[in-house]
Amino acid sequence: MRAVQISEHGGPDVLVPVEVDIPSPGPGEVLVRTTAIGVNYIDTYLREGTYPSDLPFIPGSEGAGVIESVGEGTPDLVAGDRVAWCQTPGSYAQYVAAPAESLVAVPDGLSDEVAASMLLQGLTAHYLITDTHRASGGDTVLITAGAGGVGQLLIQMAVARGYRVVTTTSTESKAQRCRDLGAHHVLLYPEATPERVRELSEGGVTVVFDGVGRDTFDTSLASLCPRGTLVLFGAASGPVPPVDPQRLNAAGSVFLTRPKLADFIATTEEYRERAAEVMEGLVDGSLSLEVGSTFGLSDAAGAHRELQSRRTTGSVILDPSG
Ligand code: NDP
């Protein structure tokens, strides 16, 4: 089968297409033929070595596909079922041996592309909105990178909960996408100052969801109202340098949290509950997921280049046949 391998950390060119054996599903695992593969920002951190990993490895952790065969101890799953997964290493490949508990059944009506990118970003937006802060209806929240994969879903979930949404992005076409999703105010970066955010929120936002990191952290902190919460959940522009806790005092007794998805889907039950809510929204149309770009599996390097150059909107997909 074709897969993508990383043998050394570095730029997008270390993503090299290779031919390897199809994996055999062990006990509790299922062999899935991939039909679409999700590309996520965390894949770039692992490629660069910002997050540790043993070399060589097949990157990617998310996708959708059709069950080919099942290992021992997977009673509810049968060949031919359409499934999606996340948090499963080795997903940039035409076949993946996935733990049965990582698989969710894909409802009719969802395309392979949507199924392949709904979990990692959808579950992230879901736990961020439900479990990381204390905002309530009518409060104003700030979301960085609103046109991105997580950002688009977060805007919609925030609007649905009655929050007023201020969001930031880099281009007018991305700004329009954010408005279409219901954002109340969209700020392009030169205009995205704490003063402007405070003006729009009458004294500061209750929560900031910041997935950009280094470039936006200071503005995010200075945009909060007293006792607000800064939810720093990513580092698209680079990691934030160490922070003196005294800055949280000076900003108005604010809270800073740095959550990660794994801790909010720590049990299979929680994973399935969050996945069911995200899929329900996608099926009934209350949530929309834009698959912004598709690359062939052999051009995973191109996908990473595009994602890191801020040229993508919504999710990015690899087509395993390409
Ligand atoms: P996005 O689709 O949001 O892409 C990143 C966006 O960040 C870009 O499109 C760009 O939007 C913005 N950006 C701002 N500054 C930069 C910069 N210097 N370089 C590159 N991009 C920049 O990615 P994802 O939706 O996949 O992920 C968003 C964030 O969420 C990432 O930081 C990721 O690591 C994090 N994440 C965290 C999880 C967690 O549990 N903690 C789980 C999943 C994702 P614009 O052009 O509008 O500025």
Mean pLDDT of 167-188: 98
Q: Which atom of ligand 1 is nearest to the CA of 261?
A: 40
Question: Which position has the token pair 């919504």?
Answer: 314
What's the sign of the alpha-carbon dihedral 211, 214, 215, 219? positive
Determine the pLDDT at residue 76. Answer: 84
Q: Is the pLDDT of residue 154 over 90?
A: yes
| Mean of the per-residue pLDDT values of the chain | 97
At 85, the pLDDT band (50, 70, 90 cuts) reads very high
Question: Contact at 8 Å (CB) between 12 and 18?
Answer: no
Q: pLDDT (tens digit, 9 = 90+) per residue, 286-321? A: 999 999 999 999 999 999 999 999 999 999 999 999
Mean pLDDT of 146-158: 98
Mean pLDDT of 209-222: 98
Task: Provide the 3-class DSSP secondary structure of residue 301.
Answer: helix
CATH numbers and ranges of domains, the chain? 2-120+263-319 (3.90.180.10), 133-258 (3.40.50.720)
Nearest protein Cα to ligand 1, atom 19: 237
The conformation of residue 82, written as its DSSP 8-state character, comes to E
Nearest protein Cα to ligand 1, atom 8: 310
Determine the pLDDT at residue 75. Answer: 78
Q: Is the pLDDT of residue 263 over 90?
A: yes
Which residues does a 6 A CB cutoff place in the pocket of ligand 1? 40-42, 120-121, 124, 145, 147-151, 169-170, 174, 211-212, 215, 233-237, 259-261, 307-308, 310, 312
Q: Which atom of ligand 1 is nearest to the CA of 169?
A: 47
Q: Is the pLDDT of residue 74 over 90?
A: no
Question: In angstroms, rounded to a whole number, what is the distance separating the alpha carbons of residues 83 and 100?
Answer: 10
User: What's the CA-to-centroid distance between 314 and ligand 1, angstroms?
Assistant: 10
